[in-house]
Chain A
């Protein structure tokens, strides 16, 4: 089996798992779900790190650093803003 088939297997299973998990999220949490999953999509930060720090030609490295900044904004901002919203939902009634 090639590495591509292994990756495809992971992709398909993760998609199915995603359907099972996400379908359980109630509508009142759909906005935090979106911003939280948006933060998770910042996982491309891993690819950006490899491109930015891996000792490559200057052009790839420049692209990598640009990608790293964007992905980090996405990750840091995404998780923080989700946290801000979710705290509203568990605040006890005053």
Chain B
């Protein structure tokens, strides 16, 4: 590689880092993203200038088709569908790295160094796992297949065997005259592995999967970078790998579970429902829109606890209208955002930003819990497990999970269609607490009814 090319890649890497730094402040984030895009453009231009491109038609065609498809997807996707979109992009990036590695292995005729071959094998392995894992995750998130975990008999054993087979194939790469011939079987094993990892994971755990696939797509790129001895790929791949792993860690910590526990499955299963009656038994108080309007009339501090059910019911705009009305009356409204409230890290923040709710009003879990005792009315919409006080009970399946301690508020209003359990499959004692009122309604209709009652009252 010539020095000016390496310099171009270095500058690209610096721009990536500056771009990610920009993301640490909402006001600088747009510019940060622009810096990242500029870095990418620079890397592409440098590459095109560096080696004489022999097949311009393929290069230009690929760039045109890819940009057009990417732009259309990015413009059309709804904010609620962002997790599956990012999942799909992860899968594409990972696959691209795997294919690049395959092309390099196929092309290399002369005996190649050990590190080249191992990096090639790893890139194919990680890239293909990213592809099938991301596709399963995206299909679950998009509702194409059921969100419940699917379990195969002996699945842990099958997973372990697939992993061992895949690693054995990678390990054989250095010893063959033509390692490229092992790429197809390795790809099959890796694709199987990706499916096996993700089918056993329930919909509520998808934030973890999406974050992990994000990390994998970066690592696959970094591995391809080792093969090509290309610093740009290694730097960018390392940054993305780190980002994905940090987010994965954050998600796991929010649920008080280890990464192994999430990946090996065994959560999101409906548990025995036998104790639902014991928990609720005659202590659940139902309320009406008119009564809630009356209660909100006298409130000064209101905290909204949104969950993904809010987005499922398309109730963000109804919520915005209600919040603006309350604020117009001088009520202080804040929002408690649990780390796993959406279907990917930070998803709920995007959904609320889309309806013009300023990010200053969105509280992180710790801040929210610190303020809850000052709150007159807490409104829980479309959230269940993240407000379940069973998390404080060591024998509960969700023991130790960080929750929004809504019962600290003077009064809790839960808008929910029925008493059905959340993904954890356990009853929620919050619904039967003395200071909890249940408003059995669809989130969108319910919020609309409360607003109407406030306006007439």
Residues of A within 8 A of B (CB): 3-4, 7, 10-12, 14-15, 17-19, 21-57, 59-61, 63-91, 93-94
Contacts and interface: CB of A to CB of B under 8 A. Distances in A.
Given A39-B40, A54-B53, A77 B73 contact: yes
Q: Which 5 residue pairs are nearest across A and B when measured between Cβ atoms?
A: A72-B66, A30-B346, A18-B242, A55-B54, A77-B70
Given A4-B115, A11-B238, A52-B58, A73 B13 contact: no
Given A73-B89, A74-B92, A76-B74, 9 more contacts: A24-B21, A28-B362, A31-B345, A33-B20, A41-B90, A44-B224, A44-B233, A52-B55, A77-B85
Contacts of A26: 24, 26
A14 B347 CA distance: 27
B346 A73 contact: no
Contacts of B246: 19, 22-23
Contacts of A56: 103, 107
B279 interface: no
Nearest to A43: B236
Contacts of B228: 46-47, 50
Nearest to A19: B242
Contacts of A84: 74-75
B51 interface: yes
Given A22-B242, A46-B43, A73 B345 contact: no
Contact of A77 (B47, B55, B71): B71
Interface in B104-118: 104, 106-107, 113, 115
Given A44-B224, A56-B107, A74 B89 contact: yes
Contacts of A30: 247, 250, 344-346, 349
A70 B226 CA distance: 20
B288 interface: no
Interface in B10-39: 13, 16-17, 19-21, 23-24, 26-27, 29-30, 32-34, 36-37, 39
B247 A33 contact: yes
A66 B241 CA distance: 23
B169 to A, nearest CB: 18
Contacts of B82: 31, 35, 81, 85
Contacts of A71: 66, 92-93, 96
Contacts of B220: 44
Given A33-B247, A45-B40, A53 B53 contact: yes
B359 interface: yes
A37 B56 CA distance: 29
A35 B36 CA distance: 12
B349 A28 contact: yes
A19 B247 CA distance: 11
B221 A49 contact: no
A85 to B, nearest CB: 5
B30 A47 contact: no
A79 B20 CA distance: 12
18 contacts: A11-B235, A15-B242, A27-B349, A28-B346, A32-B29, A33-B23, A34-B344, A44-B93, A44-B97, A45-B44, A47-B224, A49-B53, A59-B103, A63-B106, A68-B58, A69-B69, A79-B36, A85-B350
Given A14-B238, A15-B242, A72-B63, A46 B230 contact: yes
Interface stretch (B209-217, B264-272, B294-302, B447-455): B209-217
Contacts of B62: 48, 52, 65, 68-69, 72
Contacts, number: 379
Given A11-B222, A34-B211, A34-B243, A41 B236 contact: yes
A85 B100 contact: no
Contacts of A39: 36-37, 40, 89
A69 B65 CA distance: 6
B218 interface: yes
B97 A27 contact: no
Nearest to B61: A65
Contact of B13 (A14, A66, A93): A14
B232 A29 contact: no
A34 B238 contact: no
A88 B354 contact: yes
Contacts of A22: 20, 239, 242-243, 246-247
A53 B62 CA distance: 10
Contacts of A69: 62, 65-66, 69
A42 to B, nearest CB: 5
A34 B48 contact: no
A81 B59 CA distance: 24
B356 interface: yes
Nearest to A8: B226
